[in-house]
Structure 1
Amino acid sequence: MTEAATKPAGGWAAAILGIVVIACGIAFVAGGGYLVALSGSPYYLVTGILLLVAGAMALRGRALGGYLYAAFLLVTLAWGFAEAGAEPWALTARLFAPALLGLLFLLPPVSRKLGKGALGAGLAGAIGVIAVIGCFALRDSHDVRNTVPAGALAAVPEDAAGDEWTAWGGTRSGARFSRLDQITPANVGKLESAWTFHTGIAPDAASGYLSATPLMVDGKLYLCAQDNSVFALDPETGKTIWKVDPKVSPKGASAVRTCRGVSYVRTAADGVCAGRIVSATFDGRLMELDAADGKPCPGFGKNGVVNLYAGMGVVNPGFYYSSAPPAIANGKIVIGGWVADNQSTDEPSGVIRGFDLLTGELAWAWDAGNPANVHGPAAGQAYSRSTPNAWAVMSADEKLGLVYVATGNPTPDHYGALRSPASEKYGSSVVAIDVASGAVRWSFQTAHHDLWDYDVPAQPTLFTLNKGGAQFPAIAISTKRAEIFVLDRRTGQPLIPITEKPAPQRGAVEKLAPTQPYSAVHSMAGPDLTEAAMWGLTPFDQLWCRVRLKQLRYDGKVTPPGLDEALIYPSIGGGMNFGGVAIDPMRRLLVTNALYYGTIVQMVPRAETEKLRAAVDSHSVTSFGVPLPQEGTPFGVRLTPFASPLGVPCNNPPFGRIAAMNLDTGKLAWERPFGTARDAGPFGMALGLPLAMGAPNFGGALTTASGLTFIGAAREKAFRAFDTRTGDELWSVRLPASAQTLPMTYRGPRDGCQYVAVTAGGHNMLQSPLSDTVVAFRLPGCKDGHSRGNPVK
């Protein structure tokens, strides 16, 4: 018998596996050595050396190769639990791929060659896989679970939404709560699609995305599309009653262009324009339409249109538009506008204007930079340039005569040394404005000298707070910082404590605010990032993210921009974005959702910015591949996501959470990951894995008297219902696209059925495919008018 015949077969397989292990070792040693040089963890360098030796032994057919790989896996298992505990996603990044590689040692060709060494590696691999799967199996669906027993329910507020949904947030208070209770936690699982509506407007990234929250009033459902077309639908069938296309050109449009909804007001019992739809267009028109037939309202402006560019000075295409439905209160239409980020120190004004509801005449203007412009600028003059804008939905208290305006930070966003005193005072704030006169009653700033694009993105929400046996008219302000501030809406004074805390100063190129405000309400920001909090689909992109974090300047929350790369976390998108909060006044809970990823910011000197921008031919508002100009300042700014080369956020999952807090104390009631990985994956691919890792999300929730919370919002193509008191998921359904909007609910005017409707338009910035769809759901027993449902309470 020859010597070759006496050797165990499978040398080729063991050699290949050895080469793979060596390649892993090289990556670990190279990246791990660099990480150690950055004062990072020595784990990768040490285990990389172990992998090199293990791979070399396996390549030579030595059993020691298997034993050493088993040792690597056991060290990794111990290190993983020591660094991340039993958190399954954290263990997955560290252990799952290496454990699967360990199982390959059990392949017959390899085990015949390496003998008991292969068995050891395979056994360690099995232990690793079982450990990860076991942590997933044992994990509760919540991060924090409500242990407070259900108490007596408070009464439904008199002004709560009921049969109709008359404003973007249900009512002008923006509470997003409905007294309807036909759909309950017991029967929500039976919901089925009642109708589907398609706008027929082809969605594409250039024309924005569909995200309107419909209204239902006077027997019709109203919404706007991403081209500003306005539709009136039959609320029980979804069929079009009328459509108005204002013929808005998409030329020069912003990359974030959207129409989030229209407003409704009744001005007479009957007749022409007794009910009016109010909407604004991307090209600066404020329109009033007869809710009955969509025709322009006579007597309002010129042929039913008011020119919003009047008094604005130069408005370049794509630099200014109103994304939110106008606020209507006490006979006034109050409107602000979105202004392009990071373009110039000379951009359109963020002026807030009040127009007469019937005539469209300017009643007042709040120009933060020049209060003398209260009746509009003089001939040849313009409202103050680059003052804080207001792109979020407003809320109103007609009894107090106040409208509550959420402002953004002044342009340009990441350099503030040239801002005016008015911009410094009113940027990233909520401002209470007298509806009758336009005078400021009070203001509260959520981020001082904002250099992070921490606009107040959401509608301020009005509710009644119980404290010490007394009731207070309150306002909840949610922010991109993921802080929620609760104030007395009469005065702006805190009802739940707010503390000023020192802010990081290192690395800034300008004078900073020494402190920033923090609320005693539970923060959705999460802990500051650490090396151990870095994540990846494999140990290799996790190592990349660890190195990347060490390369960045990061001193925790509100780390300032500078000439080096700095990390903003929560990112420029939040935290919380335009979805805001929903109130359940009966269970005394506030429900909100947040996203978790970071943004890398770097100030780029003017000469370099101009050189880089000259090399591209792109519209300045939508070009993100080069530094944004910030013209008029010494720096452009480069913004990039804090993500691995696979396009996955570098921070640990969950990437999205939903939570409920006690309405009167701000204490956390429950919190859980929000969304799955079904429509996510590396490079933006959808892997179809329904794993609860949380998903980035834009949009908000709806609560009902029966104890349900409905929400789309996540990047995932899903619409869900949760038990408001416990946070348990009770129902979900697939949608044609993700739903970056607020859902709404109403009672069918003929069949008495409760409907829940949501716009499924997708979102280009979430890498979610776009759609032109609105879907409504109802209970099957209510079909064809067979049930009148429960009476409205």
Structure 2
Amino acid sequence: MILFAILIALLGLALTAGGVYLLTLGGSPYYLLAGLVLLLNAWLGYKRHPLTRTLFAVFLILTMLWSSWESGYDWWALAPRIGLFLVLAIPLLFSKEADNGGRKVLLPVWAVLALMTLGSVLANPHDLSGKLDTQVDSESPKLGNSPEDSWYAYGRTNMGQRYSPLDKITTENVGQLEEAWRYSTGDMKGPKDVGETTYEATPLKIGDTLYLCTPHNWLVALDANNGSKRWVFDAKVPPESQRQHQTCRGVSYLPPSSGEAPSAEKLDIAAETQAPVQCDAELFLPTSDARLIAIDPTTGARCANFADNGELDLTHNMPFKQAGYYYSTSPPVVANGVVVVAGSVNDNYDKNSPSGVIRAYDVKTGELVWNWDSGNPDETAPIAEDEVYTTSSPNSWSVASADEELGLIYFPMGNRTPDQLGWYRSENEEKYSSSVVALSLKTGQVEWVQQFVHHDLWDMDTPAQPVLLDLDTVSGKQPALVVPTKQGDVYVLNRETGEPIFPITEKSAPQGTVALDNASPTQPISALTFRPPTMTEKDMWGATPLDQMMCRIQFKSLRYEGQYTPPSEQGTLVYPGNFGVFNWGSVAVDPKRQVMFGMPLYLAFTQRLVKKDGSDMGPANQGEQGLNSNDGAPYAVDMKPLLSPLGVPCQQPPWGYVAGVDLKTGETVYKHKNGTVRDLTPLPLPIKMGVPGIGGPVITEGGLVFMAAAVDNYLRAYDLSTGEELWRARLPAGGQATPMTYLNSQGEQMVVQVAGGHGSIGTTIGDYVIAYKLKR
């Protein structure tokens, strides 16, 4: 009884103190009342009073009633609210102290509430079950120019569908998949690397060779049959502490004029030391020190015919050239005789940063064909040597798509830095930020633009590659473009005109900014959306009542009037947060069945404007999470996830899902929790919780979806029609890259996943490329 009294007294003191503070913020009175009851219970226990057990039984009942009222019948919500108190009741149940009457009250109450809590494990209130209509369209859809057995571009083709027509692996035999081979690149995160060092590459399969890049911009050629090394080109990228990202998502490919895929040679010496050669086919490698390198697919040598012996300096004509502030993390687009390159500009380091210009170069010579600068959008003729592009104009850091028949290329656009300070933007920059823009492949002129956030103050860049398909609608078949966004909307547009296929409406948005700024009175929303409901204090979460209370204090201390609450010096809750509901992994679309598979996730962030008063702010320019200086601006910005004192998200799970959408109707047919806590807790328990992830899915003709992405280290196969997980394989490192699939020379379907981890979400670091195939 004494031990019980001590534990309850300590917990009661903490809850009372925190509960008083929470109440002053306008929060729930429960924690204060619970703390006072526990203090009384502790005093009674210390005095060995006969009411000790009875009072605790009443407290448990009232706590269960309050918990159920707040959260419903949901294990992940109930257990943190009442679980600790049920555990603390155990000493009372087995204490030898007299008071059998109290024990007779407490024991049945404890047993019933424990069974109710455990029973909630079987409930699944967040699940949406259904079955997609996967009847194949009778017409042959456009799949792009990649041969069926190959993977020619980041999304397989420039259409960005992440769909393969291969069907040898099916829902019936996927359980027979096993590892076929494994390759370690040797490129690992080093002590001088930035925190956001990530392995996000999707390989290409051309002929009998796989080509992939590594975080430090090595281009690796592997035998597609057995994973053995053919050659490695090392771009020799030096470390740079001011880069926000150290990654490479992929390379791009120009087929030879003959149309036949090259046959790579196995070399015993480093490919980068080879003398430049004349190239017909070319691979294009973007680097994190702002170069574009053209490489011969056969030998790995640089292409003598492209730019300066195969290397193009992308800092040319930039208004500012701070080291590490500009580079490309995503593969360029090769289409209609040009290679089109965009770039990533560091967020919130300096208001005077490099331009977000998008440039098209001749694929064979590297000569500049056109440049489109969103700060000066009408002048697309190649800029003169002594001219510069617009300072800090909105950039496109993700992957673009192209329709070679229409002659259009589609870029998901970011924001002008600083992200949270909007008064530096020109009228043109306002027009093109946080949008998708369609440019002419021939001239770079704008054909149309559709904006997804007006006057973006939250870093809601359009992060994902647009997906192209021909879609059956009530108006007939339309050339469609599907764009998922950070804020959770999925926009479906006519890719020829930019007109919405699914309606877009405007909703009122919160107002009130710092003195120099303004907020848009309305924001767009798509009829197809995965936006979460407005968060409330009830949504705060923690492993115990204590850290749940601390999360509530955080929540009530922040400014939050719903989505698009403007940034503030007080600190603003941003939900969905900077990781978005969707990110660069995009979605996969089956153009035959006209369905979409995606991985929506839900994590809240905080953003606080830090007014510069000349005092030392401490370490700055910490990347996407932390304090960034915004040099030249009156405010720095501090951004981070909303986490409990234990370092877990403050909001109630699930945090991650898989979802299936019928694109013909816009209906979300299923939505299931995705991923386990195996790699989030000290004990490796594969409890399905719905965890965050970053990466993308791949759909196959066999009715399957392959995806890793989640923060537990697994590659999974799902049934496309239902979203049910059918198979999974344990990965040696985080799988934050989109997989791909192809046929080897024996006609066997292979599935390849890069597993190397992700710096900012803390998954296991590695350097693996792993291939799977069916057992023979």
TM more than 0.5: yes
Match of 1:263 among 232, 247, 252: 252
Match of 2:56 among 66, 69, 94: 69
Q: Which amino acid in structure 2 is aligned with residue 611 of structure 1? A: S
CA 624–532 in structure 1, closer or farther in 2 if over 3 Å, else same: closer
Answering whether residue 700 of structure 2 is matched by residue 704 of structure 1, we say yes
**8 Å CA contact 1:102, 1:122 repeated in 2:** no
**Runs of at least 5 residues in structure 2 that lack an aligned partner in the other structure:** 263-277
Q: 1:54 aligns to what?
A: 41
Answering whether residue 363 of structure 2 is matched by residue 367 of structure 1, we say no
Answering whether residue 279 of structure 2 is matched by residue 290 of structure 1, we say no
**8 Å CA contact 2:132, 2:721 repeated in 1:** no
Shift of 1:133: 1.8
Shift of 1:287: 1.1
Q: 1:327 aligns to what?
A: 333
Q: Which amino acid in structure 1 is aligned with residue 130 of structure 2? A: N
2: CA distance, partners of 1:60 / 1:285: 76
Match of 1:755 among 733, 750, 761: 750
Answering whether residue 132 of structure 2 is matched by residue 145 of structure 1, we say no
CA 209–323 in structure 1, closer or farther in 2 if over 3 Å, else same: same
Shift of 1:71: 1.0
Q: 2:522 aligns to what?
A: 515
**8 Å CA contact 1:156, 1:179 repeated in 2:** no
1: CA distance, partners of 2:687 / 2:671: 17
Q: Which amino acid in structure 1 is aligned with residue 616 of structure 2? A: L
Deviation string, structure 1 residues 147-196 (Cα, Å, up to 9, x no partner) = 56765665552426621011101111000011111111111111111111
Q: 2:180 aligns to what?
A: 194
Q: Which amino acid in structure 2 is aligned with residue 397 of structure 1? A: D
Answering whether residue 124 of structure 2 is matched by residue 120 of structure 1, we say no
Paired residue secondary structure (2:423): coil
CA 666–623 in structure 1, closer or farther in 2 if over 3 Å, else same: closer
**8 Å CA contact 2:369, 2:382 repeated in 1:** no
Judge which range, 396-405 or 633-642, deviates more.
633-642
Match of 2:243 among 254, 259, 273: 254
1: CA distance, partners of 2:589 / 2:114: 42
Deviation string, structure 1 residues 742-787 (Cα, Å, up to 9, x no partner) = 1100011x21110111111111110112111111111012xxxxxx
CA 777–66 in structure 1, closer or farther in 2 if over 3 Å, else same: same
2: CA distance, partners of 1:39 / 1:415: 30
CA 111–121 in structure 1, closer or farther in 2 if over 3 Å, else same: farther
**8 Å CA contact 2:256, 2:280 repeated in 1:** yes
CA 116–587 in structure 1, closer or farther in 2 if over 3 Å, else same: farther
CA 584–254 in structure 1, closer or farther in 2 if over 3 Å, else same: same
Q: Which amino acid in structure 1 is aligned with residue 122 of structure 2? A: A
Q: 1:30 aligns to what?
A: 17
Shift of 1:237: 0.9
Q: Which amino acid in structure 2 is aligned with residue 399 of structure 1? A: E
Q: How many residues in Structure 1 have an aligned counterpart in Structure 2? A: 753
**8 Å CA contact 1:507, 1:563 repeated in 2:** no
Shift of 1:373: 5.2
Shift of 1:569: 0.5
1: CA distance, partners of 2:641 / 2:133: 42
CA 240–147 in structure 1, closer or farther in 2 if over 3 Å, else same: closer
Deviation string, structure 1 residues 627-654 (Cα, Å, up to 9, x no partner) = 3221232211122321111111111101
CA 430–603 in structure 1, closer or farther in 2 if over 3 Å, else same: same
Q: 2:724 aligns to what?
A: 728
Deviation string, structure 1 residues 485-518 (Cα, Å, up to 9, x no partner) = 1110001110000001111003544111111100
2: CA distance, partners of 1:251 / 1:602: 27
Q: 2:775 aligns to what?
A: 780
Shift of 1:472: 0.3
Q: 1:8 aligns to what?
A: none
Q: Which amino acid in structure 2 is aligned with residue 332 of structure 1? A: V
Q: 1:167 aligns to what?
A: 153
Q: 1:7 aligns to what?
A: none
Shift of 1:209: 2.1
Over the residues paired in the alignment, what is the CA RMSD in angstroms?
1.9
Shift of 1:113: 4.3
1:532-611 mapped onto 2 (5 Å cutoff):
532-607=538-613, 610-611=614-615
2: CA distance, partners of 1:182 / 1:752: 9
TM-score between the two structures when normalised by the length of structure 2: 0.94
TM-score between the two structures when normalised by the length of structure 1: 0.92
Q: Which amino acid in structure 2 is aligned with residue 766 of structure 1? A: I
Q: 1:135 aligns to what?
A: 120
CA 188–416 in structure 1, closer or farther in 2 if over 3 Å, else same: same
1: CA distance, partners of 2:106 / 2:532: 38
**8 Å CA contact 1:154, 1:587 repeated in 2:** no
Shift of 1:112: 4.0
**Runs of at least 5 residues in structure 1 that lack an aligned partner in the other structure:** 1-13, 782-793
Shift of 1:253: 4.9
Q: 1:441 aligns to what?
A: 447
Judge which range, 726-735 or 265-274, deviates more.
265-274
**8 Å CA contact 1:254, 1:340 repeated in 2:** yes
Using the aligned pairs only, state the percent identity.
Answer: 40
2: CA distance, partners of 1:740 / 1:662: 26
**8 Å CA contact 1:702, 1:711 repeated in 2:** yes
2: CA distance, partners of 1:383 / 1:185: 52
Deviation string, structure 1 residues 512-543 (Cα, Å, up to 9, x no partner) = 1111100000x222111101111110111111
Paired residue secondary structure (2:530): coil
Shift of 1:48: 2.2
Shift of 1:371: 4.4
Shift of 1:594: 2.2
Q: Which amino acid in structure 2 is aligned with residue 98 of structure 1? A: F
CA 376–45 in structure 1, closer or farther in 2 if over 3 Å, else same: same
2: CA distance, partners of 1:154 / 1:534: 49
Deviation string, structure 1 residues 644-696 (Cα, Å, up to 9, x no partner) = 11111111101111111111222111001111111113xxxx43221222111
Q: 2:271 aligns to what?
A: none
CA 239–365 in structure 1, closer or farther in 2 if over 3 Å, else same: same
1: CA distance, partners of 2:108 / 2:547: 26
Q: Which amino acid in structure 2 is aligned with residue 212 of structure 1? A: A
Deviation string, structure 1 residues 190-229 (Cα, Å, up to 9, x no partner) = 1111111111112247162221100101110000011101
Judge which range, 17-26 or 179-188, deviates more.
17-26
